[in-house]
Structure formats: structure tokens, C-alpha cells
Structure 1
Amino acid sequence: MMQERDLQELAELVSDGAPILSLYLNVDPQRRSTEEHKLSLRRLLAQAADQGAAPADITRVERFFDHEYNRQGQGVACFSAQATDFWRGYTLLMPVEDFVFVGLRPYIKPLSDLWDDYDRFGVIMVDREGARVFIYHLGALEDSAGTLGSEVKRHKQGGWASQKLQRYEDQEAKHNLKDAAAWADDYLRKHKVTSVVLSGTEGNLAQFRELLPRSLQDNVVGQINLDMSASPAEVWEHAFQIAREAQRQAESELLEQVVTLAHKGGAGAIGLADILVALPAGRVHHLLVDTAFHAPGHQCANCQAVVVEDLAACPYCGGKLVATADAVNLAVHQAIDAGLKVSALDRSPLLTQVGGIAAVLRY
């Protein structure tokens, strides 16, 4: 599975002159047959040739699909610059839209979008005896663990002795939940999980929430009720939409705040031109990009600055400006290279209204 270091490597890659071929292919068996995705591949490679891709790069992609691709996953991303012996081919568990791009830097915006859409989240499954935790990233189970306390029984018979025993069992259950809460908090912090879905009965979860540290309580985005023996696939199926909707809501609210700040001259920026100025200055904290937003521009061959204006020379160093078909991709490169959070918003009317891109500024 593709890792964060792979995306970082692509974000940092710059060609000295040889073009880099970036190709994305949807191979979701629910959407198209093998023959259909082969036809789509041929169409994409023809477009790559028209864009100036090197024949060696086209041949390398063909060899990958003919002899190396394992027919798994729902999407494929390939990056080739055979002039410098560079090749990366990734099978993705999530679908991507067909796309091809030839330029001096890999086209990573679709990967950045996937990283946001299928960002890391955790599920804590709780009962009176312990907890199980699943961590998912990019549609796959990334890690899992569990903790088990003392056995707890429910006593149905009446009488004073039974009531006393039941109080003891309830105390044991609370102790188990308290230990599970502390363990889950430590486990999720170590794995840098900031979005959590809880699973369990209403009674158990109500008690468990009270025992959670405030930092973990703030990261809980919803709850479900599954059997403790549920498979990782079943847990994903029920929890993912809750986590995703919570993320979309948070990003929508953040965008509204950014637009308000930008209009008031505060720590917010809207529009590609302003953001391309703020990025190299180190002022951007969080980038928000429309998944469908593309715009041409120019990049300096010397200092790598990106501008959308048609200028005679780089406004920063006077270097030569080279045309690029998508300056938005280069903005995403700069953001990921700087370790910034990049959020992909799909069909946001407000983001479209302010130019397809916005940013939270540091100052």
C-alpha cells in the first residue's frame, strides 16, 4: 500500500528537463470491465504522446500493466521518467478518475485528494470487559489492537446477595472501561489518530465517554453499535461514512471561517494568485482545494516560484518562466513539501465562488 513517504517523495521530485509522465487509471471492477480499462489505458497513453511524453515512458507504463500489475485494487497511479531511471507504480484500494499529465513535476493532486478523502481514523469498540481499536487509512486496515480486563457477568436472580454481587460486577466493569479509555488514548496518540468513531451499546458508551481524556473526547465524531466480534471489513463499512461526513462538515465550516477572515483582511487567503504568493513565504498553515480546480500558470526554472500572471520573467529572482498546464498541482506540491495539511473539497459552491482554492494563514 502507498505510504506517506511515497507521496512526500513525489512532492519533492523535480525534473531537470526530461518530462515526467503521470497516469491515473480507474480499474474498479464495479465500474468497468478489464477490457474497458485497457481501452481507457490506450486512450490515456495516446493523450500522453500528444502532450510530449517520451516513448520510453509510454513503453514503461505498458510494461507495468502487461507484466507487473496484479489486478488488485480499484485504482492505479504511475509515474515515469526513464531518462533519469525514475519509475513508481502504485495500486490503490480506492478508485481514481482517469487522468494523464506530462510535466517537469509529477501530477500528485489526485493522490492528495485521496489522502484527504480517506484520511486516517480510528474505531474504538467497547464492552464491559475491554476494548478493540482499529485504525484505517486510505481504505485499508493500518493497525489494530485490544485490551481485556476482568470478566464481568450480569446477574438476573433477585435477593440481597445477588444485588451486592451485581454492584461488584458493575464496579469491575467501570474499572475495565477506565483502563480501556486510558489504553485507547495512549494507543491512538501514538498512531496520530485525530478522528474517532465509537462502537458499543448506549449504556457502555455513555460511561466510556465520561472516562475519556478531554483530548480524546474532542476527537470523537460519532458512534455505532456493532458486535465485538465484527470483522475489520464490517467495522469499516459502518464507520467510514460517519468519519467522512464529520470531516466534510469540519472542512466546510473551516472554509466559511477562512473566507470571512480573507474578506476582513485577516489570516485567510482566497484565490490562486494570493495563495501562490503566501506559500513560498511560509505563511500558509492549511490549504483547501476544490477537487475539480485546474488552472494554467508559469513556474520559474531557477527558484521554482509559481505565478498565474503572464510575465516576462520571475518576479522574485528574474529567472526564466516555464509554462505549466496546472499551477494548482504545483501549489499542492509546495504544500505537501512543506508538511502542510491539504483538504480536498468536492463541489463546494462557496469554494468555487472564491476561486477554487483557499488557505488558513499563519499570520
Structure 2
Amino acid sequence: MKAPAISVDVHHHLTPDLRQRIIDDVRARMQEPSYRLLSPEHLRELAQLDTGGPALTSLYLQLTPERRTGRAWQTALSALAHTALQLADNAMQKMVRADIGEIERALNDQLPALGRGAAFFVCRERGIWRQIALPIALPDQIRIGTRPYLRPMLRSWGSHDRTLIALLSREQSRFFATHLGTLEEIYRVKGQRIRGMLTDRVPLDRRDAVAASIIKDEAKALAAMAELINREFEASNILLSGSPEMSAAFRGYLSKHLVDRITPFEASIHASPVEIAAAAAPVQQQLRLRAEREVLEALREAVPGAASTGTQETLDCLGAGRVLKLVADDSYVARGIQCRQCQRLFELAQMHTCPCCGSTLLEPVDDLVEAALQQALDRRASVAFIREPDYRVAFAARAPLQALLRY
């Protein structure tokens, strides 16, 4: 999907109509069926999908360099499809075979340019189609059910993965968004051609002042666009590349909330998406490490009652809707139990009645952390993962699952 372009100069202002057009364009970008940009709202929407009966196919497929050579991914997909069809009854086989056929056609048409895998959630009968590029090669697997199988993808998702990239220059600026291994150009902005304007229209003694005024006006419009895009995409960081005067003016018009999340980096305004992704990667890695460190510090410094300190305490707070940020050791896996009536989660594998509602409708959970992550999405809590080995040691000293609390 080609990035839309607009002009911002003395003849083209950021009017209310243009602001709404920008919002509509960003939303359309995130709804694009081909390897869509993924926001937290999309994950929450995926977690709530339920076909009510018809089969929904959830597919995770590795797309490493080796898989892309000689169309090796096609062999892997065929093996997955064979396994899934063997486990399905006759009525379901027809639906699943059609869904897998659509997925194969989509991969034939376009493999994701970035990332090392892809996830599909498809139910043709209900008009459900979700196609997502993944930054890591999650294990190949296929699941058939009435709801999307999100657990593998949730492990690769965290609030610090969403980044807005702004490349600024006097005559052209570009906005990109990254998430789950995908980088896409969101908007391209044409500015005022200052050189020609100053030569033809402005007296020599006023040129510096006019040039500075033009830069400020353009920076003001670009800052307003960044606020709009960030609000829709819920990015946690902004990577900024631009001349000192343009960058300073841009910062001056941003809200303090966004200014605090800016990190400078260097990339050419004419660079390709692949080149921009390569330039941004080491900066994003440093931001991820900083985010993990800040979460650990917040947990350690929290006053009593502002953070949970044990796994079951965390699960109890999650069930009560008290969790603001759920924090998980990315390597931790454990079995547990979930009450089908009140949806509460429990560490203990041996239970006969729910201690919260008294129900006997209990079911085993293969991975307690993944179930907790999905429940956090349902309750609009944010999620953070601890992946750095040294940080994981410090984190696990208390519990592999903790939380910062709303109250």
C-alpha cells in the first residue's frame, strides 16, 4: 500500500478536514489486509473474535531466509495442512482446506519483506482475515477452533515494540511505523521549496527571518501529524532524524508526553524502508533494554499495594481488573487451571472447585503465562516482557509473573 502524500506550505494548511483525512488514512493503513500494521487495539480485537461455530484457522509459519529459498515455505505449509486435516471431521475439512488455500495464495502473491515469520487467522465463512508479519521465527503450528490461537504471537508482543519513525527535512518529510518486524511508510509530506521562494519573492535582508518562519510553520504541522498518527497507532517511542533546526522546531510543538519519548537517530530522507529499518534496529534494541530496566525499577520501588510480588497474587489481581501492566519472564512456562465460569486463573494444578465463585467448571491451561497475557488484553492492561538474561535473573528472584497495579 503506497504511502499517501500531502503538501504543507503557505498555500496548504493543516485544516480540520485534512486532520480527519490523516486519521482516516492511518486507520486504513492498519486495516490493510496484507501484513497489516498491528496496534494494541487490533490485538484486543483479535482476542475477542469468536466465530460461534464455524472453524477458524490459526497458522504460524516460519519465513526464515532458508524458507524463502526455493519456496521451501510451501512444503512446510503442506505438512501443516495435512496434519490439521487429519484431525478434522468431514464437515470441518472442507472449511479448513478452503482457508489454507487462501493463505497459500496470499503467500504466493506476497511474502512479508521484513520479519522471520507470519501469522494468519482466517475464517472465510465469517469473513475473518488477519495477516501479520512477525519479527521472530515462531514454531510452525496450525490450530483449528472457534477463536484465534494467540498465545505464540503474544510472546513476541510488547508495548515497547511499536515505534513511530519521523524523517524530517525542509522540502520533504516521511513518517514510518514499525511493529512485530514490519516497517511501513505511513505518510509523506511535501514542504515549502524555500530556496526558490527566497530567491524570487523575498528581499535579501529578510530571507533569514522568512526561512526561519517557514521552518517553524512546517514543523508545527509535522508535530500535529505526529500527534495524530501516534494517537491512532499507540506507539511507545519516536525515532527522529532531521537537521538540528528542523528537529528543534518539531520538538517545540510536540506535547511533553511525546517529547519525552523521542530518541535521535540518523537516516537519509531518501533511504529505502529496508535501509531505514537497518538504521533503526540498534536504537530500538537499546530502547527495549531500557524499557526492561525501567519496568524492573518500577517494580522494585513500588510502594506496598502498588505492585504484586507473587504469581498467584498477580493472577488474582488480573482477575479483579487491578492490573495496569502485566510483566512476565519471557522464558517462563507453567501449567495451571482456569475457571470457565469466572475466568480466574490459578497456579495449582490440582483443584476441584473455584475458590472465587465455587464453580466446578475448571479446565487445565497448558501455559499459564500465555493465558494471563490474553486476559490482560481483554482487560486493557499493557504487557511487558523481561528477556535480557541479567534482568531475568533479578526479576525471577521474586516471581516470574508480576504486575504494576491500578489500585
Normalised by the size of structure 1, how large is the TM-score?
Answer: 0.77
Within the candidate set 375, 378, 381, 1:340 is matched to 381
Within the candidate set 151, 157, 165, 1:123 is matched to 165
Structure with more helix by fraction? 2
Within the candidate set 222, 227, 230, 1:189 is matched to 227
CA RMSD across the alignment: 3.8
**1:145 alignment partner in structure 2:** 188
**1:286 alignment partner in structure 2:** 325
**1:72 alignment partner in structure 2:** 111
Give 1:231's aligned amino acid: S
Q: Indicate conservation of the 8 Å contact 1:14/1:104, yes or no.
A: yes
Deviation at 1:187, TM superposition (A): 1.0
Separation in 1 of the partners of 2:404 and 2:296? 9
Question: Following superposition of structure 1 onto structure 2, how do residues 310-349 of structure 1 map, counting pairs within 5 Å?
Answer: 310-319=350-359, 320-347=361-388, 348-349=391-392
Give 1:312's aligned amino acid: H
Separation in 1 of the partners of 2:142 and 2:366? 9
Q: Secondary structure at the match of 1:145?
A: strand
Deviation larger for 311-320 or 87-96: 87-96
Deviation larger for 173-182 or 326-335: 173-182
**2:242 alignment partner in structure 1:** 200
Deviations 1:114-172 (A, max 9, x none): 44377332233333x3551313132131511325136148x9xxxxxxxx93x633323
Report the CA distance shift for 1:276/1:60 in structure 2 as closer, same or farther (over 3 A): farther
Q: Secondary structure at the match of 1:279?
A: helix
**1:302 alignment partner in structure 2:** 341
- What is the percent sequence identity of the aligned residues? 26
Separation in 1 of the partners of 2:347 and 2:64? 35
Deviations 1:171-228 (A, max 9, x none): 233223322332122112212244212212346545654565534322212232x333
Q: Does 1:223 align with 2:278?
A: no
Separation in 1 of the partners of 2:364 and 2:240? 49
Report the CA distance shift for 1:172/1:22 in structure 2 as closer, same or farther (over 3 A): same
Report the CA distance shift for 1:142/1:292 in structure 2 as closer, same or farther (over 3 A): farther
Q: Indicate conservation of the 8 Å contact 1:272/1:328, yes or no.
A: no
Higher relative contact order (CA 8 A, sep 6+): 2
Report the CA distance shift for 1:297/1:329 in structure 2 as closer, same or farther (over 3 A): same
Separation in 1 of the partners of 2:142 and 2:379? 23
**1:161 alignment partner in structure 2:** none
Give 1:181's aligned amino acid: A
Deviation at 1:335, TM superposition (A): 1.1
Deviation at 1:244, TM superposition (A): 4.3
Separation in 1 of the partners of 2:308 and 2:104? 46
Give 2:323's aligned amino acid: V
Deviation larger for 310-319 or 6-15: 6-15
Which ranges in structure 2 are unaligned for 5 or more consecutive residues?
A: 1-34
Report the CA distance shift for 1:289/1:174 in structure 2 as closer, same or farther (over 3 A): farther
Aligned length: 347
Separation in 2 of the partners of 1:336 and 1:115? 11
